[in-house]
Structure 1
Amino acid sequence: MRGILLQSPKKLCTQAVRSVTSTPQGTDYQYMQRSKLPTMYFQRSLPRLPIPTLDKTCERFLSAVQPILNADEFAATQKVIKEFHQGEGMDLHAKLKQNDLNNKHTSYISEPWFDMYLSDRAPLPLNYNPLLIMKHDTRPEYRSQLVRATNLVVSSLRFWNSLKVDLLEPEIFHLNAKKSDTPQFRQWMRIAPTAFATYVAYVFKAFPLDMSQYNRLFGTSRIPQMDKDLLVQNIDSKHIIVMRRGNLYAVDVLNQNGQIEQPSVILARLQAVLSLDNKRNAAEVPLGVLTTGSRNDWARTRQHLVKNISEKNGKLIENEVDKALFCLCLDSEEDPIYNDDNQIPLIKNFLAGEGKNRWFDKSVSLLVGADGTAAVNFEHSWGDGVAVLRYFNEIYKETLQRPFVSSATIPESLNNDHSVRSLNFDIDDKLRADVALASSKNSDVMETLNMDMLRYSHINKLSCKKYGVSPDSIMQLSFQLAYKLAFNSYVGTYESCSTAAFRHGRTETMRPCTIPTKNFCEAILKPTNSRPDSNELRAMIDKCSTLHGNLTKEAAMGQGFDRHLFALKHEAVKQNKTLPELYNTEAYRKINYNIISTSTLSSDALLAGSFGPVVQDGLGVGYSIQNAECGAIVSSYKNQRNGKHFVDCLGQAFSEIHKTLDASKK
């Protein structure tokens, strides 16, 4: 996933809340869930990610590039595609199919996709690490930074323990939850042979999803190395890393038997971190900012840090930081807090900010502001939005319905048992200079980052249902119209679609800029006296919506074209072959130069979030459509694509589309 959504704050649910302020006992405390079906019950029977036929991939590629090419470019592309299809493409496709047959335990995209992420030398913040901000807990007794951080840590550990012992509910997409998300369904599943369980679930219109990524949620770090990074994991870790004002602390959260420490103990240990940190200065040499740099720069500095300065540094980095279950970043009073009238400073701080109080290499980082606003920032190479969003939703829900500490909880008395360890590194002049340079470069990048946001109430899920159109298609159509209004052209547009219905599926690209969307934009922007009437425009919207739905279904079923062409290119590189001419065409360059990069996540737990543009002159469009409103947060770089102008035009696009739908309805 590259994406996020926007939601206005709503009243929190009024379900009964049980606050466990006494010491929890027994195994009930250790696990968030006790699923009747083992977590990985469906994994063996998940279908394999299909490789599309070369015919279909070539056909889909041509359809996708046609709206963004002129007539001469498109004619030239048709010729190249024909040659590719009849020649080198066939050879590469055959080799890809054979390689896939030889590796039935995984998917054809898994290896090249990992290579793509781990080989890219671009910094992680803005380029890869997305941000998800949680809705607030408005109850005063649970809102403070210390209390909310403790509850999130406890719930995170309960989620992790449940996953490790196969007690976490399997991830299933229920087409009709009333019929399949039931005890009866689970009872039937329990007697289904695991080799066929997925196909039995299909009978109930329930679709199990791949959960292979979940195991990398915790204990995982991306280690910078020259030219290609490495993912390392220690699932038996018993501590987390806590950061405050750039200082690092290791905090034990599991006991020697791997059991979660009592809530009052974890509360006391986090309180000890705050107490220790308040007695010292902010880090003079904040090592976390090194994780904001280019991967080769960071790799060189890390090598110096762990090998050249002292043996102690190597042990601290490898044993305490790399092996930590996750990172908890406690921001200070000097950092931005939530402001409903201006969310941008907080979003920018959580997305990347100064980088001094972050360790972007950890698989998951929990961020908690001084006012208790919480978020998740995650490294993207190990997994996608499905796993992170499930974790995000579960811990948010539990902290509302079953918080384990409150402002009334009395912290345990701490013994001098080294359960809270300040990580003090040896620093030399070179390391000091590298940190200063990384900080300066990150500040320069952040100085150029713009963010603009928009909320619009007349288009929402309920109105789309009334008009009989797909909410997502309306959002994507609005982006195309807004871009045409702002910049008078059509460009490569990216929408992420999960392929988690398949074993080791990752994502596929949906291409929302189509001939029907282009035709609609051209028609609605004609002078009033030559514009089609509202019924004709409505028919054009319906055509856009239908095609968008079909493209989304194809992508979700592994029948896009982007990943197939990407894998064929990877196959050519792997075999040291000259790249086919297709990969040098203007068409391939334009479709993969994603000036508009979009993504959304549907979740009642999400407040806001963002991701950076994927190209220098691009727009990162995180969007949402809810029952009451739709909205978007748009990131851009100064003196590049004008994000503010795009957002202004997006408001106009929403208005034009709403008026068209409303007029046709009447």
Structure 2
Amino acid sequence: MHVQMRRLHFLYKRNLCETRRRCYWDYQYIQRSKIPTMHFQASLPRLPIPKLELTCERYLAAQKPLLIDEAYRKTEANVNHFKDNVGKHLQKLLRDFDKQNKHTSYISEFWFDNYLRDRKPIPINYNPMLVMNNDEREQYNTQLIRAANLVISSLRFYKSLHSNWLEPEVYHLDPQKSDTEMFRNICAMLPQSLSWYGAYLFKAYPLDMSQYPNLFNSTRIPETDIDRLVKGKGRHITVQHKGHIYAFTALSKENQILPPEQILARLKYILEDDIPKNTFPIGVLTTLERNKWATVRHELAENGNQATLKLIDTALFNICLDDEYVNDDPYAIIRNFLHSDGENRWFDKSFSLQVSKDGVAAVNFEHSWGDGVAVLRYLQDIYKDSIENPVIHSETRPYDEDINNIIRLDMNLSDRLKVHIEDAKREYRLFYSSLDFDYLIMDRLGKNLCKKQAVSPDAIVQLGIQVAYHKMQGKFVPTYESCSTAAFKHGRTETVRSCTMATKAFTLAINAQQKPPLNELKMMIAECSRTHSQLTREAAMGQGFDRHLYVLKKFAEKTNMTCNIFDDPDYAYLNRIILSTSTLTSPVIYAGGFGPVVRDGLGVGYTIKDDQLRILVTCYPPYHSASKGIDALRQSFEELTAILDTN
């Protein structure tokens, strides 16, 4: 009897320990992948350098719908001369450079440089926003509970990434065969040097994960002429509220996430701090032109704020707790999360979590360190985790918190620095007030309708954008759609030039007074879809022309070579993007957007759902009106829907 009791007691203690162990792992990590996060990096294929002849062909194809015949013939002559002469030499320089840098891609160094040299302010011009859907359970949508759960999910994501346990990003061509335990078991056992090839046999394509570490402890530092990216090792996060900046430790000395009640208590203290709104919020300085910000930041450091700035720079991430209610108003949501007034922001941080007074949450991210692929993965994972596994509930009681664990980062400000802050407020107010935006939600037009007609949903949206712009302006302009090249080591993005001869032909036909027969229009739509899908495939496989020509131009500048193709005004025209577009499709995203690339341009972000299309348009009057753009888009998509919705 005693033996049996001792055994039962032993089993109870073992099960209790196992339960505690599982609870520990469940709290500390968002994932514990069988395949290590960076397992595929060593064997990822390198970004290919396209053949010069193909790049020249693709460049001319992109120019053709934009140029009159005489201008096109001149451009064609320049391209042919380039291809047979200087281009060959530049291509050799590029190939030699690529051979000497096998650890990376040929675009990586130049693309970082491209971002970091630009002197324009980064909010609106560069920083996009992604707004998450609300939790359907109202009790989880209070500002404090939503923020606390998202912070803890972010820390769990960080811990999994830091421990190499975050599931690698893989594109599954046939998920039923490859998104399986067998796939994970086999790939995990393969040496890193062979792992990509093992995945390929399953028709699965691992994606580059090199940008992911830059999500955390990362900041862009303004410097004269060219900024720099820094990585820190902080165990703290920064919190902005009422224009003040706070910092508190979120990870223990052993790198363990602090108990949820403790994190809740620290956020609660900050939200309940009865200090008045900061009259001189230094966050607004991150909205300045970069050279000016570099000078002011140096003054800040010289005025005894170096240690405080370092705390901001090295924080794991930043969270902005806003005093604004957005009240489910799309205009208030876009305005608050895309730009706000800048006083409760630090736009230089790799990303900031933003939570409104009524619990709507978003991410605004700095773009130089990486692209939307990494941020979207982070956002999707923390959203799902905070919804499915919330550790903070309405009945959760915060610890009695020692306020010494929370630092308010009060700055030493001279009169001159205060003037800089006031000037930054005024300049930024003029800037963001000049931005116009509007949005459109189209029911019926989505993936299902396009699938029914065997056309690409993305191609249809891009076609609608071309038709709408022509309705407004009566012309065709350079159009950019971002496409990830993450299938390759250190891939960044490539451009899909979605204004084509096929879209031009359809646009002229549908916008004419005498429209062609319905069957002819459907055939033209099918051709637009085929052309766009081909361009997208080429871009994703590193076979676009934009990045290739960009780097060749950089080598020409380095070696002082004169190139007719790059001196041609039509090359500059093609690269002055009037229509900047990007798809932000994800089931967790409520809205996403960004500003125009140029003052007379349009920024068009869209999400394609099964039976719905959502579009956000940004622009600067008097060049364009967002409401007129939305009206033109609505008309275009109604016409396309009517054509597609017929047998």
AA aligned opposite 2:640: I
**1:43-192 equivalent positions in 2, closer than 5 A:** 43-192=41-190
Unaligned runs of 5+ in 2: 1-19
The answer for the alignment partner of 1:523 in structure 2 is: 509
Aligned to 1:14: none
Aligned residue in 1 for 2:40: 42
How many residues are paired up? Answer: 628
> 2: distance between equivalents of 1:290 and 1:241?
17
2: CA distance between counterparts of 1:464 and 1:338? 33
Question: What amino acid sits opposite 2:243 in the alignment?
Answer: G
User: After the TM superposition, which of the residue ranges 396-405 and 184-193 deviates more from structure 2?
Assistant: 184-193
Residue type at the aligned position of 2:299:
H
- 1:430-473: CA deviation from partner (whole Å, max 9, x where unpaired): 10111111111110011111111111113111111111111000
Match of 2:525 in 1: 541
Select the residue among 364, 368, 377 that pairs with 1:390: 377
Q: Does 1:456 find its partner at 2:450?
A: no
| Mapping for residues 379-458 of structure 1, pairs under 5 Å | 379-416=366-403, 418-458=404-444
- Give the SS at the match of 1:496: strand
Letter in 2 for 1:119: R
2:449 touches 2:644 (CA, 8 Å); kept in 1? Answer: no
The 8 Å contact of residues 586 and 607 in structure 2, kept in 1 or not, is answered as: no
Cα distance in 2, alignment partners of residues 245 and 183 from structure 1? 48
Amino acid at match of 1:330: L
Match of 2:215 in 1: 217
Cα deviation digits, residues 377-432 of structure 1 (max 9, x gap): 0000000011111100000000110001011100011135x321011111111101
* Residue aligned with 1:301, SS: helix
What TM-score do you get using the length of structure 2 for normalisation? 0.95
SS of 1:26's partner is helix
Question: Aligned residue for 1:485?
Answer: 471
Contact 1:141-1:408 at 8 Å conserved across structures: no
Q: CA distance change for structure 1 residues 414 and 23 in 2, over 3 Å: closer, same or farther?
A: farther
- CA RMSD between the two structures: 1.3
- What are the Cα deviations for residues 544-585 of structure 1, in whole angstroms up to 9, with x where unaligned? 10011100000000000000011111222233x145221222
- Show CA shifts across 1:293-315 (max 9, x none): 110010000001101x22xx111
Question: Normalising to structure 1: TM-score of the pair?
Answer: 0.93
1:368 matched residue in structure 2: 355
Following TM superposition, by how much is the alpha carbon of 1:255 offset from its aligned partner in structure 2, in angstroms? Answer: 1.0
Q: Deviations over 1:586-637 (max 9, x none)?
A: 3212211111100012211100121000110100000121112112100001
Task: Name the structure 1 match of 2:326.
Answer: 337
Matched, 1:554 2:541: no
CA–CA distance in structure 1, aligned partners of residues 644 and 611 of structure 2: 17
Q: CA deviation at 1:25?
A: 4.9
Q: Distance in 2 between matches of 1:582 and 1:419?
A: 60
- How far 1:336 moved relative to its partner? 4.2
- 1:283 is aligned to 278
* Alignment-mate amino acid for residue 201 of structure 1: A
SS in 2 for 1:196: helix
The residue that corresponds to 1:261 in the other structure is: 258
How far apart in 1 are the matches of 2:368 and 2:509?
Answer: 41
Partner of 2:489: 503
Aligned partner of 2:629 in structure 1 is 646
The answer to whether the aligner puts 1:632 opposite 2:615 as a matched pair is: yes
Match of 2:291 in 1: 296
Separation of aligned partners in 2, 1:579 and 1:435: 44
* Offset at residue 138 of structure 1 (A): 2.5
Preserved contact between residue 336 and residue 349 of structure 1 (Cα < 8 Å): no
Q: Distance in 2 between matches of 1:612 and 1:399?
A: 29
* Partner AA of 1:383 in structure 2: G
What displacement does 1:200 show?
A: 1.6
Please tell me whether the aligned partners of residues 584 and 592 of structure 2 are also in contact (alpha carbons under 8 angstroms).
Answer: no
- Give ranges in structure 1 of 5+ residues lacking alignment: 1-21
Give the corresponding residue for 2:271. Answer: 274
Q: Deviations over 1:251-293 (max 9, x none)?
A: 11111111100100000011111122xx211111010000011
Contact kept, 8 Å, 1:24 with 1:262, in 2: the verdict is no
1:325 corresponds to which of 313, 316, 333: 316
Letter in structure 2 aligned against 1:299: A
CA distance in 1, matches of 2:643, 2:408: 61
Look up the SS of the partner of 2:627 in the other structure: helix
Of 184, 193, 196, which aligns to 1:195? Answer: 193
Find the counterpart in structure 2 of residue 532 from structure 1.
Answer: 516
Q: Structure 1 counterpart of 2:454, which letter? A: G
What corresponds to 2:11 in structure 1?
Answer: none
Percent of pairs with identical residues: 47
Could you list the per-position Cα deviations for residues 191-221 of structure 1 after superposition, in whole angstroms to 9, with x for gaps in the alignment?
Answer: 3232121122111111100000001100000
Contact 2:219/2:350 (8 A) holds in 1? yes
Residue 338 (structure 2) aligns with: 351
Contact 1:354 1:443 in 2 (8 A): yes
Contact 1:145–1:369 (8 Å) recurs in 2: yes
Query: Which secondary structure state, in structure 2, belongs to the residue aligned with residue 412 of structure 1?
Result: coil
1:471-523 per-residue CA deviation (whole Å, 9 max, x = no partner) reads 00000000000011111000000000000000000000000000010001111
Q: Deviations for 1:525-556, whole angstroms, at most 9, x for unmatched residues? A: 2223xx32111111111111001110000000
What secondary structure does 2:364 align onto?
strand
Q: How far apart are the structure 2 equivalents of 1:641 and 1:478?
A: 18
Q: Is the 8 A contact 1:23 1:263 kept in 2?
A: no
